[in-house]
Structure 1
Amino acid sequence: MTAHVLCVGGEDHGLRIPFLLALRERGFHVSAAGSGDAGPFAQVGLPYFPFRFERFVNPFADWRAIGTLSRLLSELRPELVQSFDTKPNLLVPLAARKARSVRVVRTINGLGWIYSSRSLKALALSPVYRGLHKLASRSTTATLFQNRDDMRFFERYRLLGKSAKGLIPGSGIDVEKFERARRAGPSRAELRQVLGLGTREVVLTVTRLTRQKGIPTLLEAAALVHQARPGVHFLLVGPRQSEGPLAISQAEIDRHSAYVTALGPRSDIPALLGVADAFAFPTEYREGVPRALLEAALAGLPIVTTRMPGCSDVIEDGWSGFLVPPRSPRELAQRIIDLLRERQEAAAMSSRAAQWVRQEFGLKLTVKRYAEVYEDLLAYPAQEGLSERDGLNLTSFQRAAIQLGALADPAERDEREGDGLRILGTQ
């Protein structure tokens, strides 16, 4: 019998369509549920079930979402449900408490606003969310992580319960599709002409335009770069108006309009990457593995990003790009200038980053890793021996693998902490 996998995510769930299609090609019956547009799923023939939930804290809306998911699980009766994103990772296990026939797998792709913000509200909500994760772990079969920092966080606060755990870096990027999109788009010269960039040096950032994503820091750094190198222009690509109270204001951007342009959300990211000379990703957010960094690396752009979880799994400081502390505009500005000034060194670093992404973050390898975990879990009766699940001898969780700490700085930290985290599904 073909196992039914229901994959649940948020408003950006459409970005996982290549992952879901690849799972289907491996023999799974795949369906999806999320809060985003159903159109892209219909176009590729994936069954999609929309449900609503609030991204921000709203207990009443969360309770309704749990009820909706519980009914959906009862109707579809999947053998396995996979959740991504902060809210679904809490809602799905809670909705599955009475679904005795389903195995629940959640992927922690970053810890979200509550564990990234330094606001009083976030500090107050942090213990509440830890309690909810402990509750959710009781009906979770396995928890997967995209970076080792998040895994250590869950272990430190004992948020895993008896669920199995493993490390699979990133959600997978379809390297061949990305490169086809780059070739099919307009040329660098054509797009530069459309955007009015001329021959100016361009620094590109692709992210949501929020404070947690480091945009205020980037704007300060842009002003410093402009003083030292007036010909540099910054392009910001990503949503702002949909980001609610976390968004930066248009007035903040306008103060830097001489050297910063906000393009809003775009669907031609592969082509836009081709117009840039460097990529800056100043996040203060606890990322999973940022897709923006993977795409920038594949495009051959030299990268400067922050020393934050997820980012440091893609970039090794001084080898495949630069890492700077978050909220450090002067250091960010200096590294941007370094990338633009030392073109030969920057090209060497970008080449290493591209090789690393192709080696460890490709979609085919990621799907293989997930499929092996699913197959192992499906070999066990759902919910059986829940209190003894830490004794499950899952082949995919025990298989010898390379250490993610192949990156220099994290490897040194791993050695100090005596840790031996391994990536699932790598021989």
Structure 2
Amino acid sequence: MKIALVENFGSDFYGARMRYALFLQEKGHEVIAIVPNDGFAKRIQEEGIKTIALNVDIRKRNLSSMKIFAGELRKIFKREQFDIIHLYRMQPNLIGTPIAYFSSKDAKIINHITGLGVAFTKNTPKYNLIKFCIKLLYKVNSNFFKASLIFQNDEDKKELGNDKKFFVVKGSAVNEDRFVPHLEINDNLKTELRETVGIKDGITFIFVSRLLKQKGLSYLIQAINSINKSNETVKINLIIAGWLDPNNPDSFSQTEIDIFSKLERIFFLGKRTDINELIAFADIAVLPTFYREGTPRFLLEAMASAKPIITTDMPGCNHLVKNTKNGILVKPESTDELIKAIKILTGKNLKNAGSESLKIYEEEFSETVVYNHLLNIYKIH
């Protein structure tokens, strides 16, 4: 089969789709990555995947960018005549599907929905209208343009109608060469964290995400600060490997981050490329998001690294914790529940809880499970 994998960002393709593309190629399929020219197209090409770079930044979300994006896709789809056109994320899905349908008539079209986002967590007239439009457009994609829709959790599937052409593939797996149990941490990182950053003895939590308010970071910081100010014998460190997103209205400001940074045992590291070693250094992974996630990659990376997790009872997150064996689910936007969860989990055998995380990852979210499931969808639909 000749397969197009179309991503919103070259960086996301490189981080989240590369190993899947290589898997397909190893199975004998011709794979072409179609990504914006954001600096990663060359790196994808160097890994052995044929790449077509689009000269447009669709993150700008303006009409001009969308028209250029649509025009470039039309030329590519007509020229290449793919068997499978697999589109990731909202803009490629909604713009690319009708173009694929008219430009590459014999292609099977896949809309991969990696999370429903902010519109499905806010109940205001503006976001209710956006939600209605998104549902309508995906319905058109499915019914008229014959696209199959892939979700990362069952609740997102139900939200959009639970049609027979809707599938659930849990997450996108993680790089299992990088995220492994008991990873040896290099001495330079240990020195940086202990001496330069100043992480002290205690139990260390890690949070990895864009610094959006809906990721629950302020509630987490309040919870940990409260515990550390109390007379608890165990002190908590929080590593935050996160980055500001100035184009997102939900992003924290640098001023707000500077205020958080002054609190005891709260450590902001910025955007990092050594997340696997940071997770290995930490004891527990935490993401108290109330954003409508698909399945958070960071939590899967932590589970593959045999770490227990704390997250919220939200679609996309609540299927990662099984009977509190590998972690704890908390109510969204609740500092009190986070405090309670932190105290409970830090009192457990963290090694055993981490082993349960790894077992769940291997059985439900691994590369073998996810990649073969996607390939089966290609073959039967």
Task: Identify whether the pair has TM-score above 0.5, normalized to the shorter chain.
Answer: yes
Does the Cα contact within 8 Å between 1:208 and 1:243 map onto a contact in 2? Answer: no
Question: What does residue 424 of structure 1 align with?
Answer: none
Q: Matched residue of 1:197: which SS? A: coil
Q: Which amino acid aligns with 1:217?
A: Y
Q: Which amino acid aligns with 2:46?
A: Q
In structure 1, stretches of 5+ residues that fail to align are 378-427
Question: What does residue 360 of structure 2 align with?
Answer: 356
In structure 2, stretches of 5+ residues that fail to align are none
Shift of 1:41: 0.3
Question: What does residue 13 of structure 1 align with?
Answer: 13
Shift of 1:314: 1.3
Does the Cα contact within 8 Å between 1:317 and 1:323 map onto a contact in 2? Answer: no
Q: Which amino acid aligns with 2:35?
A: G
Question: What does residue 222 of structure 2 align with?
Answer: 220
Does the Cα contact within 8 Å between 1:106 and 1:140 map onto a contact in 2? Answer: no
Identify which range, 32-41 or 180-189, moves more after superposition.
180-189
Give the number of aligned pairs: 368
Shift of 1:262: 1.6
Shift of 1:209: 0.7
Gap change, CA 1:33 and 1:186, over 3 Å in 2: farther
Gap change, CA 1:310 and 1:289, over 3 Å in 2: same
Structure 1 vs Structure 2: percent identity of aligned residues? Answer: 25
Gap change, CA 1:241 and 1:371, over 3 Å in 2: closer
Gap change, CA 1:86 and 1:219, over 3 Å in 2: farther
Pair 1:58 & 2:59 matched:
no
Shift of 1:113: 2.4
Distance between the aligned counterparts of 2:252 and 2:102, measured in 1?
A: 42
Q: Aligned runs of 1:3-402 on 2, under 5 Å?
A: 3-11=1-9, 12-15=12-15, 16-35=17-36, 36=38, 37-51=40-54, 52-55=56-59, 58-99=62-103, 100-118=105-123, 120-137=125-142, 138-155=144-161, 164-179=165-180, 182-183=183-184, 185-186=186-187, 189-190=190-191, 192-193=193-194, 194-228=196-230, 229=232, 231-256=235-260, 257-259=262-264, 260-340=266-346, 342-344=347-349, 346-377=350-381
Does the Cα contact within 8 Å between 2:181 and 2:306 map onto a contact in 1? Answer: no
Gap change, CA 1:184 and 1:19, over 3 Å in 2: farther
Shift of 1:243: 4.7
Does the Cα contact within 8 Å between 1:274 and 1:299 map onto a contact in 2? Answer: yes
Q: Matched residue of 1:204: which SS? A: strand
Shift of 1:55: 3.8
TM-score, normalised by the number of residues in structure 2: 0.88
Distance between the aligned counterparts of 1:180 and 1:280, measured in 2?
A: 17
Q: Deviations over 1:170-200 (max 9, x none)?
A: 1122324422993474487445325321324
Identify which range, 108-117 or 172-181, moves more after superposition.
172-181
Alignment RMSD: 2.4
Shift of 1:238: 2.1
Gap change, CA 1:287 and 1:120, over 3 Å in 2: same
Does the Cα contact within 8 Å between 1:111 and 1:150 map onto a contact in 2? Answer: yes
Distance between the aligned counterparts of 1:58 and 1:42, measured in 2?
A: 28
TM-score, normalised by the number of residues in structure 1: 0.79
Distance between the aligned counterparts of 1:266 and 1:281, measured in 2?
A: 17
Question: What does residue 385 of structure 1 align with?
Answer: none
Q: Which amino acid aligns with 2:26?
A: E
Shift of 1:207: 0.9
Q: Which amino acid aligns with 1:330?
A: D
Distance between the aligned counterparts of 1:198 and 1:218, measured in 2?
A: 19
Shift of 1:370: 1.5
Shift of 1:317: 4.6
Gap change, CA 1:153 and 1:258, over 3 Å in 2: same
Gap change, CA 1:263 and 1:278, over 3 Å in 2: same
Gap change, CA 1:140 and 1:246, over 3 Å in 2: farther
Identify which range, 198-207 or 179-188, moves more after superposition.
179-188
